[in-house]
Amino acid sequence: MPDPFPPTPPPPAGEPLRMVDVQRAVAAELDRIAPVIDELGALFEDAGHELALVGGPVRDAMLGRVSNDLDFTTSARPEQTDRILKSWGDAWWDMGRAFGTIGCRKGDWVVEVTTYRSEAYDPESRKPAVEYGATLAGDLGRRDFTVNAMAVRLPGRALEDPFGGLVDLAHQVLRTPGRPEDSFSDDPLRMMRAARFAAQLGFTVDPGVVAAMTDMADRISIVSAERVRDELVKTICAPYPRLGLTLLVDTGIADRVLPELPALRLERDEHHRHKDVYEHTLTVLEQAVAQEAERFEGRPDFVSRFAALMHDVGKPRTRRFVDDGSVTFHHHDVVGAKMTRKRMQALRFSGDEIDAVTQLVELHLRFHGYGTGEWTDSAVRRYVRDAGDQLTRLHVLTRADCTTRNQRKAERLRRAYDDLEARIDRLSQEEELASIRPDLDGNQIMEILGIPPGREVGEAYRMLLELRLDNGPMSQEDAASALREWWAARS
């Protein structure tokens, strides 16, 4: 999947922008991208067409961000754009031609040029109908939010801001160019984009937009699962995922696209003997994000974030009240893994992503049997074996899940997991835990026992693997002796 993270971190959420800083940032960014915008602007002008830098690149320029991916809009039709870009670029593509978009690469720059357009959904259709527009103002008016409805005309570099996007950007507010009801009726996915931009930019959402999202939440059902999935991934992988997810839950949209999340808002018992599972989950997500600098070189990791979001979704179905007033959630890890798999399949995630997330959800409680380090080396080996290539992400999820206001308990849990990781590192150096396997392979098993390929070879292999997990590495002589002893007892 494409990286949904912005090129540079956004400004602190809620901190207004100064106009002088915006003007300075835009001037600097336009100068940086001048080799592209000046050349393309001149080429389109010479051909008798309008061209404007538009949308995200304009918004990001005002926020002081840089990117080599540039979006343009034009009065030219796709076939005319295609001819111009082929005379200028190094490589070309037209996968978006049906939507009026032609793309090209020029050195390190990636450019996409789209014909002025308007698009709307048929009430029963999952795909937008695209019609070409006649003016830049008309094109900007059909865009999702005012902060994305600004353009810079080329080659003159004149700013076009017919809907007050610059003011909204300065105040960090998301509004639609027209009535939000009309915007969301035309393209219901824009309701999820509101959550995504809130999460990416740290912006607040205009109350009228929130009200329209709440009233029209059912409209999201006509959007394809793949488009919903992509917006959800971008929201979860943004710098402020809590903002976007909270908006989806509060407006009821999450009930339609990720119902397991709002279901976590369980009623707390009168004595508060169990955590607020919904708030706990969002905290676990934030604590998983906080570990990315160390674990993933600062890049967002969707699998670990989504596992954090889904790790407790089995709790509502497994909640039981005990006679003493306490609450239990027995086997919520197993139930939650099954629910997670079903939801990710419905959202058309890849098999690898589904397997990775569900494995983490199912394993997220395993550490809590560790206590103060009573696990044997055999148990540590099994922990590593069961985690497989998700071990680093399991470290992230387990540490993130240790949420408690009791500082002494929190410190005890942290030290216990430090100890477990240290033991894993030690055993890994001694025994190559990451690729743990029996001390004899299938060919050696068949040779020692004098048997052909078949079920017995697999049984012997699994027996030797369990022996390896229990005792650590063995010499081939000892392994062969154990194999013969097992075979004799089995016979």
Judge contact between 158 and 140, C-beta under 8 A. Answer: no
- C-alpha dihedral (385, 390, 393, 395), degrees to nearest 10: 10
Q: Which DSSP string corresponds to 111-122?
A: EEEEESEEEEE-
* Model pLDDT, residue 84: 97
- C-alpha dihedral (120, 122, 125, 128), degrees to nearest 10: -20
Tokens encoding 161: 């801001």
* Model pLDDT, residue 325: 73
Query: Please, which residues bridge with residue 52 across strands?
Result: 73, 153
- Backbone torsions φ then ψ of 148, nearest 5 degrees: -105, 5
What is the distance between the alpha carbons of residues 451 and 408, in angstroms, rounded to a whole number? 58
Q: What is the pLDDT along the chain (491 residues), one digit of tens a residue?
A: 433 333 334 445 556 677 778 888 888 999 999 999 999 999 999 999 999 999 999 999 998 888 899 999 999 999 999 999 999 999 999 999 988 999 999 999 999 999 998 755 566 665 666 688 889 999 999 899 999 999 999 999 999 999 999 999 999 999 999 999 999 998 999 999 999 999 999 999 999 999 999 999 999 999 999 999 999 999 999 999 999 999 999 999 999 999 999 999 975 544 445 568 999 999 999 999 999 999 999 999 999 999 999 999 999 999 988 887 788 888 999 999 999 999 999 999 999 999 999 999 999 999 987 776 778 888 888 898 899 899 999 999 999 998 776 778 888 888 889 999 999 888 877 766 666 788 888 899 999 999 999 999 998 988 898 888 888 888 888 889 989 999 989 87
* Model pLDDT, residue 3: 39
- Nearest 5°: the CA angle 256, 261, 264 is 130
What is the distance between the alpha carbons of residues 335 and 340, in angstroms, rounded to a whole number? 9
* Model pLDDT, residue 431: 66
- Backbone torsions φ then ψ of 320, nearest 5 degrees: -135, 140
192 contacts: CB under 8 Å, gap ≥ 6: 220, 223, 228, 231, 232, 235, 248, 253, 257
Judge contact between 344 and 354, C-beta under 8 A. Answer: yes
- Backbone torsions φ then ψ of 41, nearest 5 degrees: -60, -40
Domains recognised in the chain with CATH numbers: 17-171 (3.30.460.10), 172-258 (1.10.110.30), 262-435 (1.10.3210), 442-490 (no CATH)
Q: Helix 391-401 to helix 377-387 angle, to the nearest 10 degrees?
A: 110
* Model pLDDT, residue 8: 39
Sign of the CA dihedral running 354, 293, 205, 247: positive
* Model pLDDT, residue 24: 85
